[in-house]
Amino acid sequence: MPAQIILVNDDQDFARQASAALQDVGYSVAFFIDPDGAWDAIRGLSVARLLITKILFAPGKLNGIALAHSAHRRKAPLKVLFTDSPELIEHVADNGAFLPLPVSISDLLQSVKSIIPLDER
């Protein structure tokens, strides 16, 4: 099944746990540690409905805002959930929802379910 959710987080443990938890409740997920690799995948995915991404990555890497803008140009209906330090919320503005760090898996699941209800998977 093609991925409904694209998760981009350079914390590999969190990305694996979040991906597994989302899959356990029935979402299809593609996760990436590198935002540049995620962008390559976004270009090829036709059914993705939600991008979950950090805002800041390592220097020289695409940031989450740029990734979201690029994804919107390619996939207009794609919604975005940003996860990052609370002080970065000001950068999100109208670009998507925001979940401040530290993010628990249960908070992430609740946020995703509010964006893509389970009966709409």
Q: Report pLDDT digits (tens) over 56-98.
A: 999 999 899 999 888 877 766 789 999 999 999 998 878 889 9
Residues spanned by the domain of 97: 5-120
Residue 1 in this model has a pLDDT that exceeds 60: no
- Whole-angstrom Cα distance, residue 111 to residue 117? 10
pLDDT at position 48: 81
Per the structure, the count of domains in the chain is: 1
CATH of the domain at 15: 3.40.50.2300
Contacts of 82 (CB under 8 A, 6+ apart): 53, 54, 55, 64, 65, 68, 88, 92, 95, 96, 97, 98, 99
Query: What is the three-class DSSP state of 96?
Result: coil
- Whole-angstrom Cα distance, residue 62 to residue 8? 11
Over range 31-56, report the average pLDDT: 86
- % of residues, the chain, pLDDT over 90: 64
